[in-house]
A and B are shown apart, each in its own frame.
Chain A
């Protein structure tokens, strides 16, 4: 028939309905995300890494419309490269966050993506910035994506200022696991990126390696 368009998901917008987290610890940051990309009710990618590098020690976490988020990340990656070449040294996390904020704010009507920026620099140590709707704010931790609503309470209760690296990694994995078990648009595996003065460590936690809770 002439009207036949194929399956529904081919005409739905691709969103990273998601859970993204960034938490600061003593000496660095940990960023975490799930790996599900959905188009309507279909999961079109179950292993997408939503943690995207902006520079050597600065990463961002993507949420919202997949295309918008990726484009912002690529653009800022390019702008940071130019900036750091002009500066002659590594850029500040605040600079990266400001570049993201500039795009998010200028195109706030056209874009629907929220990026959380986290990284380490010599001046400020580990820092996390939220850029929702074009606002720029530094926070000890930031949450984003559809799954984040379910874990605000948990993170409020469990976050401790000045915690160590392993404790923070465990906190991020636990939080992601809780969000993925409640949010239909989050799931798959958990990606973690830990950034500190010594470098960047990327880790993946497969489905069966995620922590479980009382009803699982």
Chain B
């Protein structure tokens, strides 16, 4: 998931990878990929497809940034992903959340869906565990949150999703992106907020 707050964005994910929903093949995988200094992406769908697309998009983004002689805009990163997803929609099964900060528009969150639609949203959730927290995020999101409120929002949402979805779990990876740069926060499972039945 990713959410904008006053002055930046926070992108977060769980850390569980499973094989066929039966075995946890990794408890601590990091699903947040840095494509530039202040732009991060997280993958959804087939991880293999997503990784391949991200590698290509990162390369193209760097080239674009060199040609423009300026750091890339967040929408540039999202557009490159969209282009790849749309023109190869028959072969690929990958979706992305792109979040970052640029001097032109500040904090932004973009979603590239499976077929290649690109939209901008104040916050977004994705993945199998996201179904369980649509209600929570709809109810609790406020525009112009502070950094601490944003962190609490993402941490709570991830903890709730991990509590109900059996293929989500492990630690919570969060990256806070602001004008100053990107800061990676890891919250281990036992430090996540607990809710009524735990």
Binding site for B on A (CB under 8 A): 140, 149-157, 159-161, 174-175, 178-179, 181-182, 213-215
Binding site for A on B (CB under 8 A): 131-143, 156-157, 160-161, 163-164, 195-197
CA gap between A159 and B131 in the complex, in Å = 19
Do A161 and B196 have beta carbons less than 8 Å apart?
yes
Do A152 and B141 have beta carbons less than 8 Å apart?
no
Interchain Cβ contacts under 8 Å between A and B, 15 examples: A140-B196, A149-B131, A150-B131, A151-B135, A151-B136, A152-B160, A153-B134, A153-B157, A153-B163, A154-B133, A157-B156, A157-B160, A178-B134, A181-B138, A214-B142
CA gap between A208 and B46 in the complex, in Å = 41
Do A149 and B132 have beta carbons less than 8 Å apart?
yes
Do A174 and B195 have beta carbons less than 8 Å apart?
no
Known: A140-B196, A151-B135, A156-B136. 8 other contacts (CB 8 A): A150-B132, A150-B135, A152-B135, A152-B160, A153-B132, A153-B136, A154-B133, A159-B195
CA gap between A155 and B140 in the complex, in Å = 12
Known contacts A152-B164, A160-B196, A214 near B138 by CB under 8 Å: yes
| Chain B residues, CB < 8 A from A179 | 135
| Chain B residues, CB < 8 A from A152 | 132-133, 135, 160, 164
Known contacts A214-B138, A214-B142, A153 near B196 by CB under 8 Å: no
Known contacts A153-B160, A156-B164, A215 near B132 by CB under 8 Å: no
Known contacts A149-B131, A178-B134, A182-B134, A154 near B196 by CB under 8 Å: no
Do A154 and B141 have beta carbons less than 8 Å apart?
no
Within the complex, the shortest CB–CB distance from A13 to chain B, in Å, comes to 23
